[in-house]
Amino acid sequence: MGSPNAGAGGGCPGWAGPATGHTLGSPGARRLPKRTEEVNRDMAWTWRFEKMDGTPATARDLPKETFASQSDAETWLGEGWRGLLEAGVDQVTLLEEGRVEYGPMSLHPED
């Protein structure tokens, strides 16, 4: 009975594309890509807790966590999924700024 598969991060969010031959500061120069930490710092990642039928899980003691990165959110879930299951959460969906990144994902161990 392992933890649920939390998925993998994707892409390189700050990538501006291949070099164009322009020098920095020239009119056609592209901005260098932001470091991942800088990109993720501005994003809010949250988990939506649901019952098996997709309706919101409504236990009063469910955490209301916000994370700076997808990795932080997935690590938190990996460490606490059993407590969520015990609190009545059947599945979760990962949201980035309210947009579904992936899910729903069951918290119940596979048989």
Of 98 and 2, the one with more pLDDT: 98
Task: Write the CB contacts of 95 (distance below 8 Å, at least 6 apart in sequence).
Answer: 45, 46, 47, 48, 101
Of 28 and 77, the one with more pLDDT: 77
Cα 4 from Cα 27, distance rounded (Å): 49
Scanning the structure block, which residue is given the tokens 């599945």? 91
Rounded average pLDDT over 43-59: 95
Percent of the chain with pLDDT over 90: 56
Rounded average pLDDT over 13-24: 34
